[in-house]
Amino acid sequence: MSEIDRALHEDWHPIAALNELEKTTIQERCLLGKSLILWRDGDRVAVWENRCPHRGAKLSGATVTGDRLVCPYHGLHYDRAGQCVFIPAHPDLKPPDRLHVRSYPCQIHYDLIWVNLSKNNVPIPEFREWNDPNYRKFLCGPYVYESSGFRAIENFLDVSHFPFVHDGLLGDRDRPRVEEYTIDRDRDGLKLNNVGVWQPDPDGTGSGGRVTYDYSVSRPLTASFVKHASGGKLAIFFTVCPTAEEACVGWMWIAMNYGQNLPEAELRAFQDRVVRQDLPIVASQHPKRLPLDLKAEIHLPCDRASIAYRQWLRELNIRFGTLW
Ligand code: FES
Ligand code: CO
């Protein structure tokens, strides 16, 4: 396993939004190619391997009876901890300890269910505006990218595509110039400072203007920005769940300190439209995995952010030219 694979295995990933899990229903999800189930029982959520230890049947077809999960194949009952507590074919037998479904640590933060495939205790990535009452917030997604999570994050850091992919929304084809910006690196990751672009209607007032973005990349698959427009600040916390090598699911929390009266449905529809424009372009990038060999693609001065991102990932001691 390369260092970046290890880093992903040791990191937390947002596997679902809380509102996707109805009470006591079972959901199947994929994380780093591994099939998992989540089930919610009251306020608790458990994340298990999608495999019954008896004969390997998928537990996503299980039923929930009280606080037990019943395997669809031979009806073994598992308690919330994943321990088999009843074997219908042998009702008097005490199930052995090793009849235990593998479970994974999970936590609920920002109304998302985060899962970690290791026992490592790294913190959940920070969403700075989460506790700031000056910002209204809403969650957008899930956005399904047919590409690696790293391509999705790099797309998020790239403002030079705005006038083309998002012409009329986030940019203007006639004003595509990207100004110089600076990059800092510290223990918390990467910071892109003062990335300036022109936008047709940056703060919902109907008039165009120059905006600046301050980005921060705190984890391989979590990045955020604060956009400064004359009418206020808008932040996006973007976190991506690597479902497989060449597929991922993204979530965006949007936080804004203006436009309290703008209907949420309208704001969400705007973001959905923006991301729907990104999805086919990102899916079209070949290879789907992000090349970390800097010679593999051609860089322009405006690509400083993506170069820094690739270098930063490389410095997690990547040994391969491509990764998840
Ligand atoms: Fe699950 Fe047999 S495989 S009970
Ligand atoms: Co875009």
Per-residue pLDDT tens over the stretch 277-311: 999 999 999 999 899 889 999 999 999 999 999 99
Per-residue pLDDT tens over the stretch 204-243: 888 899 999 999 999 999 999 999 998 899 999 999 999 9
Task: Take atom 3 of ligand 1 and give the residue whose Cα is closest.
Answer: 55
Cβ–ligand 1 contact at 86 (below 6 Å): no
Cβ–ligand 1 contact at 76 (below 6 Å): yes
Mutate to test the pocket of ligand 1, among 52, 65, 69, 77 (most ligand atoms within 8 A of CB): 52
pLDDT, residue 321, reads 38
Residue 262 CA to its chain's centroid (Å):
26
Q: For residues 27 and 244, give the distance between their C-alpha atoms in angstroms, rounded to a whole number.
A: 17
pLDDT, residue 324, reads 39
pLDDT, residue 323, reads 43
Q: What is the mean pLDDT of the chain?
A: 92
Q: For residues 30 and 44, give the distance between their C-alpha atoms in angstroms, rounded to a whole number.
A: 20
CA of 28 to the centre of ligand 2 (A): 29
Protein residues with C-beta less than 5 angstroms from the ion ligand 2 = 278
Cβ–ligand 1 contact at 71 (below 6 Å): yes
Q: Quick check: 30 pLDDT over 90?
A: yes
Contact 210, 228 (CB under 8 A): no
pLDDT, residue 24, reads 66
Segment 28-41 mean pLDDT: 93
Segment 72-77 mean pLDDT: 98
pLDDT, residue 2, reads 61
The proportion of the chain whose per-residue pLDDT surpasses 90, expressed as a percent, equals 78
- State the amino acid at position 92 in one-letter form: D
Q: Closest ligand to 280 CA?
A: 2
pLDDT, residue 3, reads 61
pTM: 0.94
Residue 163 neighbours by CB distance under 10 Å = 22
Nearest Cα neighbor of 107 from 5, 15, 237 is 15
pLDDT, residue 23, reads 67
Mutate to test the pocket of ligand 1, among 48, 55, 85 (most ligand atoms within 8 A of CB): 55
Q: For the chain, state the CA radius of gyration.
A: 22
Burial 62-77 (b: 16+ CB within 10 A, else e): beeeeebbbbeeeebb
Per-residue pLDDT tens over the stretch 248-286: 999 999 999 998 899 999 999 999 999 999 999 999 999
For tokens 């006038």, the residue is 163
Nearest Cα neighbor of 277 from 142, 139, 161, 138 is 161
Q: Quick check: 93 pLDDT over 80?
A: yes
Q: Which SS3 state, helix, strand or coil, does residue 299 take? A: coil
Q: For residues 181 and 111, give the distance between their C-alpha atoms in angstroms, rounded to a whole number.
A: 33
Per-residue pLDDT tens over the stretch 114-171: 999 988 778 999 999 999 999 999 999 999 999 999 999 999 999 999 999 999 999 9
Question: Which numbered atom of ligand 1 lies nearest the CA of 74?
Answer: 4
Q: What are phi and psi of 272, to 5 degrees?
A: -60, -40
- State the amino acid at position 72 in one-letter form: P
**Exposed (0-12), middle (13-18) or buried (19+): which is 82, by Cβ within 10 Å?**
middle
The interface predicted TM-score (ipTM) is 0.96
Segment 66-74 mean pLDDT: 95
pLDDT, residue 322, reads 41
Q: Quick check: 319 pLDDT over 60?
A: no
For the four alpha carbons of 200, 205, 210 and 214, in that order, the dihedral sign comes to: negative
For tokens 């920070």, the residue is 126
pLDDT, residue 4, reads 66
Of 51-55, 74-78, 184-188, where does mean pLDDT reach its minimum?
184-188
Task: Take atom 4 of ligand 1 and give the residue whose Cα is closest.
Answer: 74
Mutate to test the pocket of ligand 1, among 49, 63, 69, 73 (most ligand atoms within 8 A of CB): 73
Q: For residues 149 and 45, give the distance between their C-alpha atoms in angstroms, rounded to a whole number.
A: 25
Segment 70-88 mean pLDDT: 97
Q: For residues 138 and 114, give the distance between their C-alpha atoms in angstroms, rounded to a whole number.
A: 18
